[in-house]
């Protein structure tokens, strides 16, 4: 009888008392793997850690001062003992069969060291997912609705972060090879890691929704960014590896430039809305450097020069 693969599940937690129990129960319900569940409490000020100690004594709980999600995940990776590492945020939900489906997909792609799945965006502040939602997703099969990039993903990742962290399963040896999450990135630390992974392994997608990506008022992705992290991550990849993927496919240079310019103009818009006119003009200039014909950038440049468009002259 073949032994089940061992998986360390790393869950960063910051003030997730309302959601963490549901997340942990969903992880524990997985079949097809031996689980080591590691929760890294990132300086929570609520009762998250106490709840885990009381109700989930089998879970490894690491307490640390608040240092951000990248540092928390890195601490979990450092503590992991299994051959495989999976990630789940403390307010997201895995659906049944997730890990088993990922191992099956990678078995069909010899040498593959990383997988992700399709997911459902879940707009909810409820502690538990609705049974009707779970029943609907349980009957969803692979198909065009859930298809997406799979295989050698570098060219696709230059255009968009098509991989979502709470669905990722990867070999620990892959992390040893490419390094951990970049703690200098407040947002986009996952995007950066997937780009690095895409240089050395296929990344197989399971075209079924096997996780719920929760969106609620406290979600970090709703916060205004302090920097154009997306643009910086992509530019760093281009400076390091260029447009050619390991499989020889070349990303569409015009499309990459358009996406990169768009990231800078979107960031400039946020800055302009905050009254940061000088900073907005600097971001717009970066957008136009990347793509001189980027029309939204020219419009934002004009707006940044008009009176009354910001607090900073």
Q: CA–CA separation, 291 vs 101, rounded Å?
A: 41
Q: What residue ranges do the domains of the chain occupy?
A: 6-222, 252-305
**Nearest Cα residue to 113 out of 20, 176, 161, 26:** 176
- pTM here? 0.93
173 vs 191: CA distance, rounded Å: 19
Average pLDDT of the chain to the nearest whole number: 93
- pLDDT tens digits, one per residue of 151-168: 999 999 999 999 999 999
Each residue's pLDDT tens digit, 39-61: 999 999 999 999 999 999 999 99
Classify residue 222 as left (phi > 0), alpha (psi -120 to 50) or beta.
alpha
Domain topology for 6-222: Spore Coat Polysaccharide Biosynthesis Protein SpsA; Chain A (3.90.550)
294 vs 138: CA distance, rounded Å? 43
Which range is least confidently modeled, 74-88, 133-147, 228-242?
Answer: 133-147
């Amino acid at each position: 009888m073949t032994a089940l693969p061992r998986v360390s599940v790393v869950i960063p937690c910051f003030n997730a008392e309302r959601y963490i129990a549901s997340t942990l129960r969903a992880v524990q319900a997985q079949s097809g793997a031996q689980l080591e569940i590691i929760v890294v409490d990132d300086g929570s000020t609520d009762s998250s850690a106490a709840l885990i100690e009381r109700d989930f004594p089998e879970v490894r709980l690491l307490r640390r001062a608040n240092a951000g999600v990248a540092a928390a995940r890195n601490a979990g990776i450092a503590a992991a003992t299994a051959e495989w590492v999976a990630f789940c945020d403390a307010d997201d939900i895995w659906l049944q069969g997730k890990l088993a489906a990922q191992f099956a997909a990678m078995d069909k792609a010899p040498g593959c060291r990383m997988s992700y799945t399709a997911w459902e965006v879940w707009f909810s502040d409820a502690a538990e997912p609705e049974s009707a939602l779970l029943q609907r997703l349980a009957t969803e099969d692979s198909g065009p609705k859930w298809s997406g990039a799979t295989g050698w993903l570098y060219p696709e990742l230059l255009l968009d972060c098509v991989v979502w962290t709470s669905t990722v399963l990867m070999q620990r040896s892959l992390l040893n090879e490419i390094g951990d999450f970049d703690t200098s990135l407040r947002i986009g630390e996952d995007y950066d890691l997937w780009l690095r992974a895409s240089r050395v392994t296929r990344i197989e997608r399971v075209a079924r929704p096997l996780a719920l990506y929760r969106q609620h008022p406290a979600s970090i992705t709703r916060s205004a960014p302090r920097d154009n992290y997306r643009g910086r991550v992509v530019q760093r990849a281009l400076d390091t590896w260029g447009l050619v993927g390991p499989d020889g496919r070349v990303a569409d240079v015009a499309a990459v430039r358009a996406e990169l310019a768009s990231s800078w103009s979107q960031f400039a818009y946020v800055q302009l809305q905050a009254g940061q006119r000088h900073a907005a003009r600097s971001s717009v200039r970066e957008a136009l450097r990347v793509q001189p014909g980027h029309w939204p950038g020219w419009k934002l440049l004009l707006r940044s020069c008009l009176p009354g468009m910001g607090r900073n002259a």
